[in-house]
Amino acid sequence: MKMQDSRIIAAPRDSVFEAILKPEMLKICIPGAEEVTGSAAQGFEALVVQKVGPVKAKFRGTVKVEDVVPGTALRLVGEGKGGAAGFARGAATVTLADHPEGTELTYEVDAKIGGKLAQLGSRIIDGFARKMADQFFERFKKALEIETTFDGSTG
Amino acid sequence: MTEKTTNGIGAPLPRESARRLAEGRGRYVDDITMPGLLHIAFVRAPFAHGRVLKIEKDDAFEVCGVVAVIEGKDLAEICVPYDTNPTGVPNHVSAPQPPLVVDESCFQGEAVVAVVATSRAAAEDGAELVFVDWDELPASCSIEEAQADSAVPAHTNFDDNLTLKHRFGAVDVSDAFANAAHVVESNFDFGRQTGVTLEPRGIIAHWDPRTEELEVWQSHQVPWQMREVYATQLGLSPQSVRVTAPDVGGAFGLKLHAYADELAVVAVSKLMGRPVKYIVDRLEAFTADAHAREARAICRMALDPQGHILGIDARVDAGFGAYAMHPRGSFGEAMQAAQMIGAPYKVGAFRAEVFGWRQNKPPSGAYRGVGQPIACAITEDMIDLAASAVGIDPVEMRRINYRSTLDEGARATEAGLVIEELSLDRCLAKLINAMDYDRLRAEQTALRGKGVYRGIGLASFVELTGVGAGLYGPLGLTVAANEACRLTLQPDGSLTCATSVTDQGQGTLSALAQLIAGEFDIAPDKVRMIAGDTGRTPYGGGAWASRGMALGGEAAKRASERMREGLFEVAAGILQCEPSDLSLANGAVVGPKGPSGLTLAEIAAICHYRPYDSPLGKVPQMTIEESFVPSDVPYIASNGVHAVHIEVDPDLGTVMLLDYWVVDDCGTVVNPLLVDEQLRGGIVQGIGAALYEECLYSEDGQFTNGTLADYVVPMACEMPDIHVGHVTTPTRSTGLGAKGVGEAGTVGAPGAVRTALNDALSPLGARVTQQPFTASRILEAVMAAEAANK
Amino acid sequence: MPEDTIRFTLNGREVTVSARSRGHLGDLLRYELGQTGTHIGCEHGVCGACNVMMNGRVVRSCLTLAVQIAGAEIETIEHARSDRSTVALQNAFVARNAFQCGYCTPGMIMTARELLAENAAPCREEIRDAISGNLCRCTGYQAIVEAISDAAVTLREHADD
Amino acid sequence: MKSPDFAYLRAESLDEALIALADNEDGIVLAGGQSLVAALNLRLQAPELVIDINHIPGLDGINVTGDTVRIGALVRHAQLMAHSGATRALPLIRAALPYVAHPAIRNRGTTCGSLAYGDPAAEMPACAVAMDATLVLASTDGTREVSARDYYEGLYETQREPYEILIEAHFPVAPTGTRALFDEVVVRRGDFASLGLAGQMRLGGGSIAAFDLVAFGSEPAPRLLTDVAQIALGRVADTGLIADLAQAISDAVRPMESPLATPEIRRRQYRALAKRALRYAMELSDA
């Protein structure tokens, strides 16, 4: 299941890049994240509860940061085991570019959901993966824009 | 046809013996319980292909009720993996299939860990706490991926995925095509399906360490086969294993196979010395039951100017699973899909190649019709293409090409089929009359003017039934092909028939009782049927390839005749006449001077208690056993023609089934009520294959429609009324003359729906080739034609 | 009534079960109360094999929690012998050979019973619509439609006696 | 598949239910249970507490006043279907209810439960949006009213907070002469709709006086086709209008990507479905 989208974030590029690697930011942005620990270097541990329609799955997994090009690009690779519900794997390739209103963040997500969750028919699963990706970057945009306007500086 | 049609052969008697099922008094496997019974839930593989790195079991024991958590290596000590490598099909090789994955797992849903608990719910709670760490391996999921040169092996024991390669007919048929007036060609796609029995698979295994005997209750078609399988896998003497198939809630070939998860249950019981029950739930059924029918094909047909078939050249690529289906292999569906192409017709030159490809999906095995629905769909669609190329009516195209017998002096057809006398022309004539074909064609033409697109589909079929030992024996497969009947006259004059035949709803046991009752002119409820239990029935095949009446009926008829002869000798002595002067009327002997008052009960009492009263000085056997397997022919061929009338909406993509007809020749019909319902049920399963059913996998091998809301099987509202007609040509292979009918409906229906759809879409220049014909695929074809016509 | 039990009426008899019962009504009937005539086909409410009567209406027992039925009147196929409509249906199903494996039949009869209670002379489309939520994999449905139609006729003819 | 274990509360009053819901973040309400118990059996939900509201008095009423029909949280689909007053006042509900699942499901499934859950393929949410119904949400903070036209925000995303219970739905009584427009495409009767149209229309002197239309099934949530309705107002109800509306509907819908059908195919189906539904609605006499 592949999708791509982009967001204009009213914040300078390097502060956007730094923000994306902070555990607290991941906790705010990953929909349903209850705990996020660790660091960009060693990778993050996350407990995520995701609810779509009849499904309320608890995923325990890791988020690794790869292919880092400081300031301009990186890849977030997440893998969560939902116990009997199955598993979720996703990779988000994020690229940043300067933009008159701040930074243009484009992301390409390749999500794979498996086990029992996948068996529930595409009606729910496509929505499930797309919702997690869209919400992640929407919350990231909001969190970053508040942070920047709040202290006025480049964070 | 004997004259007594009140209760003998030919009487449409209701199944009084089955009334208990309508009163909720059935006894299916899950209805059986016993003290100390434990329950199993499996942890199953989430990936299409993976390797187990580590299994952490401790958390599972925190669940109250969990008794044991068992891995592949625990069972490896007492149970050997399935070895499905039939010597007679050399390239059909398969990796060993263990009851539980030991390290490599090669289809999503394969059982990895068995959690044993005091309830199924507790076992599932425990299963959720078992942590399995996996290394996901690359997988080959579609046929294209599996057959590509760079294909990833579905199992690392092999370096490619080819697991069947065979050719039927001639090496070369090119000259039949060289001088043909017309050549038509098409490709075909068939979606992967599964049987969806309403009662899921289920098993109870009880190894009793005290008696060192294994008792198994299992929802299954062939208990004798499973006795041999469990004995072999656990290293036991077959005589210490007893397998009973109680009431079975539908099987359709899906419960013919030996499954790894069921073997695991038996092995767990042996390991623990406790009775263990496992009932497959609906999600597991979709990912672990046998799959079938996934295939791609291409076919060419050469015709002379008048439309006679000069040659057929076909190739079938079939998708199997990760392992060959135990014990009969996965090749049956693919072989018959190729060999049966063109079977109803004189085809001149014939060549059909078939390839089977291993895939990272559940093992595929025989399902109702076994490849013949594919062969029929290909053949009948080609016939319609030929009819329009030559410019003659599809009915005429069939009539002028039908085969009725083997060619002069030939032992088999070009495809190697040993066909008896066929009656397709008579079936077609009766069908055309029943459906008022000409009126439907006229109505169709008129409606096309108003933008209403009706379709008339025809499908002729030949079906191999009552398959004997000639199919599996030479291939080195230990499959019983005889059917036996052990008939006992009870002291009170009633009869007991213990038969090797089994019944999953076909009504075969009622028909056998009716047949036997007819031989003694007594009421069917005076014949008690014993079946499905290896501890109480003679050795035999069970239920597969529509054999119940064809073979089991013949055994019962012969046993009845021998029993009757013995009784007539006693009666003749008493009545001072010749045995040949005697007959039976409502359970009493009729002598030369009319009814004698000598009842079966009286004779039975003499034979059991007062042998000295027998004038012969001795008494006949009270228990007679007859076993029958066809010796002159490998199978008994039945035939028939289907027709369906549909309406297609080219904008919504919906198909309405307006009416359905079938005229079938299954030889002697013992009970028309049961036979007609077998045809209707089989037809609706075939309609399911044609319009609705497909196992949808994502490109990385995840099964994505694992509920009954997403894997669509036919329900009541969309199904047409089905008009059933018969032509009766008794087979010469048996005295009874009955041929099989159980699969005839499923064999013809996909072909009828496919030809009807392409007939309906022809004015739009559209054509469908990939089954099931969903709204999406119909609209894609229509839109492609619209784009082409622009 | 002690705190930890649930009381309800099963086939005309008062029954109590533990309030700690887990899972759905179908399993409660089959495993704790021995009423195995109710069959389980999917456990996600699609196949209809588990249909029983609850307070006079046909419901999916697999979609009804065991603990939810306090005070309810539950009727299963085993009790149906005492109900005129069900006996007529059972006779018609046998006469028409409207079942083969029998696994869907108890649930089918429960659905048909409610239909005939509301519509004494249903046409074939109304019957097919009523059983549109009852999966049968063996018969192809036609014999079932005819059996329900026959039962309707029998019940109308003997409405008075 | 057997449901996980959970605590069970049989609420005797609405307050008791609302308090339990507010206090238990992992609590969930059981009314009809036709979606919830299936999810429990499939182990897709593992709530700590199931709050059964079936025994709360006063929630199972259907109240028909001059201009509104009030439907309580425990009103079963079958109960509403059999209520002549309500169905006479709400022709679209009368037309749509027979498409909802199957008899056994309608006997237990609640109309408000279907409205609260918001399955994209469900018939009742689409009708509520078309009829501009109002949904009453209760919590320990009190009750608030939300228009159905705002309530559905995305795939299974609604304005209901986890601690709120949808206790009542208010449907405006359709003015006399209102005709229901309802049709859907399913593979089997009672299945989840692949696509559907739910709407109301009133004719005045042969032309369209009032028109509301919703597309559902392939959309993530019921989609109110306001600009399609604009085209219709004042136009004469004839085949020309049907063709224009059918094209407008086809352009307005935004079907979800799905392996079962491309958006382009869904749009083609919408055009055909619209023609069928509009032709039927317009031909109805003014009953």
Domains of chain C: 3-77 (3.10.20.30), 81-157 (1.10.150.120)
Q: Select from B188, B203, B226 the least CA-distant residue to B32.
A: B203
pLDDT of residue A78: 86
Instruction: Tell me the C-alpha distance between A114 and B360, whole Å.
Output: 15
Instruction: List chain C residues with CB under 8 Å of D10.
Output: 67, 70
Instruction: Tell me the C-alpha distance between B267 and B260, whole Å.
Output: 10
Instruction: List chain D residues with CB under 8 Å of B125.
Output: 4-5
Residue A32, pLDDT above cutoff 80: yes
- For residue B265, report the phi and psi dihedrals to the nearest 5 degrees: -65, -45
pLDDT band at A148 (very low <50, low <70, confident <90, very high): low
Q: Which pair of tokens denotes residue D191?
A: 């299945």
- B277 and B262 Cβ atoms separated by less than 8 Å: no
CATH 3.60.15.10 assigned to B291-470+632-789: no
- C109 and C89 Cβ atoms separated by less than 8 Å: yes
Instruction: Tell me the C-alpha distance between B218 and D60, whole Å.
Output: 46
B214: enclosing H helix or E strand: strand B213-218
Q: Do D156 and A52 lie within an 8 Å CB cutoff?
A: yes
pLDDT of residue B468: 87
Residue D232, pLDDT above cutoff 60: yes
Q: Considering only the beta carbons, identify the residue of C19, C24, C67 that sits closest to D41.
A: C24
- D198 and D182 Cβ atoms separated by less than 8 Å: yes
pTM of the model: 0.95
Amino acid (1-letter code) at residue B684: V
What does the domain layout of chain B look like in residue ranges? 16-26+482-628, 32-137+198-251+254-288, 291-470+632-789
Amino acid (1-letter code) at residue A87: F
Chain C window 83-112: which residues touch B at a Cβ cutoff of 8 Å?
Answer: 90, 93-97, 99-106, 109
Q: Considering only the beta carbons, identify the residue of B14, B24, B683 that sits closest to C106.
A: B24
User: Could you tell me which chain D residue has the CA closest to the CA of A56?
Assistant: D45
Q: What is the CA radius of gyration of chain D?
A: 19
D1 touching chain B per CB within 8 A: yes
Instruction: Tell me the C-alpha distance between B133 and B124, whole Å.
Output: 19
Q: Select from B517, B305, B344, B323 the least CA-distant residue to B425.
A: B344
Instruction: Tell me the C-alpha distance between D122 and D100, whole Å.
Output: 7
Q: Which pair of tokens denotes residue B381?
A: 């669609």
Q: Do A116 and B283 lie within an 8 Å CB cutoff?
A: yes
pLDDT tens, residue order, chain C (161 aa) = 455 789 999 999 999 998 777 889 999 999 999 999 999 999 999 999 999 999 999 999 999 999 999 999 999 999 977 889 999 999 999 999 999 999 999 999 999 999 999 999 999 999 999 999 999 999 999 999 999 999 999 999 988 76
Instruction: Tell me the C-alpha distance between D31 and D26, whole Å.
Output: 17
Residue A13, pLDDT above cutoff 60: yes
Q: Is residue A14 part of a domain?
A: yes
DSSP 8-state secondary structure symbol assigned to residue B59: G
Partners of B664 in beta bridges: B640, B726
Instruction: List chain A residues with CB under 8 Å of D47.
Output: 56
- For residue D25, report the phi and psi dihedrals to the nearest 5 degrees: -60, -30
Q: Which has more confidence, D134 or B616? A: D134
Q: What is the CA radius of gyration of chain B?
A: 28
The answer to whether the Cα torsion of B709, B715, B719, B722 is positive or negative is positive
pLDDT of residue B2: 38
Amino acid (1-letter code) at residue B175: D
pLDDT of residue B3: 42
Amino acid (1-letter code) at residue D42: L
Domains B16-26+482-628 and B32-137+198-251+254-288 in one fold: no
User: Could you tell me which chain A residue has the CA closest to the CA of D158?
Assistant: A53
Instruction: Tell me the C-alpha distance between C109 and D171, whole Å.
Output: 36
Q: Select from B38, B35, B33 the least CA-distant residue to B276.
A: B38
Q: Select from A126, B604, B462, B232 the least CA-distant residue to D156.
A: A126
Decide: helix, strand or coil at residue B610: coil
pLDDT of residue A142: 86
| Closest Cα in chain B, distance from residue A58 (Å) | 12
- C91 and C98 Cβ atoms separated by less than 8 Å: no
pLDDT tens readout for residues D212-221? 999 999 999 9
Q: Is residue A155 part of a domain?
A: no
Probe site for chain B from A89, A119, A125, A126 (most B CB atoms < 10 A): A119
pLDDT of residue D284: 46
- B499 and B644 Cβ atoms separated by less than 8 Å: no
pLDDT of residue B532: 96
Residue D286, pLDDT above cutoff 60: no
Whose structure tokens read 């055009």? D271
B16-26+482-628: CATH number: 3.30.365.10
CATH value at residue A86: 3.30.530.20
- For residue B493, report the phi and psi dihedrals to the nearest 5 degrees: 90, -5
pLDDT of residue B583: 95
pLDDT of residue A121: 58
| Closest Cα in chain C, distance from residue B653 (Å) | 21
Residue D285, pLDDT above cutoff 50: no
Amino acid (1-letter code) at residue B531: A
C133 touching chain D per CB within 8 A: yes
Q: Is residue A154 part of a domain?
A: no
Helix axis angle, D263-283 relative to B775-789, nearest 10°?
Answer: 100
Instruction: Compute how many other C-beta atoms are within 10 angstroms of the C-beta atom of residue D66.
Output: 6
Q: Considering only the beta carbons, identify the residue of B121, B712, B780 that sits closest to D188.
A: B712
**How big is chain B, counted in residues?**
790
B32-137+198-251+254-288: CATH number: 3.90.1170.50
Instruction: Tell me the C-alpha distance between B125 and B375, whole Å.
Output: 46
Extract the residue ranges of chain B whose pLDDT is less than 50: 1-5
Amino acid (1-letter code) at residue B573: G
Helix axis angle, B508-520 relative to B554-575, nearest 10°?
Answer: 20
Helix axis angle, A122-151 relative to A13-20, nearest 10°?
Answer: 120
Cis peptide bond prior to B373, omega within 30° of 0 = no
> Strands D195-204 and D152-154: what pairing?
unpaired
> What domain range includes position A9?
2-148
- D33 and C68 Cβ atoms separated by less than 8 Å: yes
The secondary structure of B255-268 as a DSSP string is GGSBPHHHHHHHHH
A54 touching chain D per CB within 8 A: yes
Q: Considering only the beta carbons, identify the residue of C94, C103, C141 that sits closest to B16.
A: C94
| Closest Cα in chain A, distance from residue D35 (Å) | 7
pLDDT tens readout for residues B604-614? 999 999 999 88
Domain total of chain A: 1
pLDDT of residue B664: 97
Instruction: Compute how many other C-beta atoms are within 10 angstroms of the C-beta atom of residue B1.
Output: 12
Q: Considering only the beta carbons, identify the residue of A54, A126, A131 that sits closest to D39.
A: A54
User: Could you tell me which chain A residue has the CA closest to the CA of D44?
Assistant: A55
CB–CB contacts below 8 A, B to C? 167
Buried b (16+ CB within 10 A) or exposed e, C20-40: ebbbbbbbbbbbebebbbbbb
> Strands B636-648 and B453-465: what pairing?
antiparallel
Instruction: List chain B residues with CB under 8 Å of A121.
Output: 704-707, 709-710
Q: Do D258 and A56 lie within an 8 Å CB cutoff?
A: no
Q: Which pair of tokens denotes residue B290?
A: 């046998």
Residue A125, pLDDT above cutoff 90: no
Q: Select from C20, C68, C31, C29 the least CA-distant residue to C51.
A: C29
